[in-house]
Amino acid sequence: MRRPASRSAAKALATPPVAVAAKRVLGLDPGSIRTGWGVVERNGHTARGIAAGVIRLSERAPLAERLEALHRGVCEVLREHKPDTVAIEDIFFARFPQAALVLGHARGVALLAAAQAGLPVSTFPPAVVKRAIVGSGRAEKQQVALLVGAMLGLRELPGIDATDALAIALTCLNASRLGV
């Protein structure tokens, strides 16, 4: 391979930077009592947190009513923040099968809301999210929350369910770079 004759020639041979369109991801950490949500946007190489919160459902309400309220809540977040894609945490193996089934219902409602909005959905197992954020698939929730806060420059952490959702959104934004 020939070397360029000068620095200006070397610059001419370099690949010009490609303009990357902003990408907005809604991360969801589904639950039948609390569903965390977080919106992260990447513009170029910079990711920033747009908003985060928790959809809280009554523990005393029948499951069908909680699921309907969850659907309304997710649809409201989708309308308000207009993401390009949705990232949802996969169900993990649980010791309590009944709890896993109820969690599956909540996750299904979140998937339905995203599909009704015509948005692509990516799913990530909890261990992959932890590995993408902390470097270890066995990291504690608080460790994930602190690193999410640092990555997004948050002055205050929005709560564990919301920071989990932000971590899921960040994992989605970085999936191709991380080989996920």
- Gap between the Cα atoms of 54 and 57, Å rounded: 9
Residue 19 pLDDT exceeds 80: no
**pLDDT for position 178:** 61
SS3 of residue 48 by DSSP: strand
Directed axis angle between helix 141-152 and helix 126-133, to 10°? 50
Catalytic residues: 29, 89, 161
**pLDDT for position 110:** 97
* CATH 2.30.40.10 describes domain 21-175: no
Task: Give the mean model confidence (pLDDT) for residues 161-173.
Answer: 96
Residue 16 pLDDT exceeds 80: no
Percent of the chain at pLDDT above 70?
A: 83
Measured CA to CA in angstroms, residue 117 lies from 41, 84, 95, 172 at distances of: 18, 10, 33, 18
Predicted TM-score of the model (pTM) = 0.85
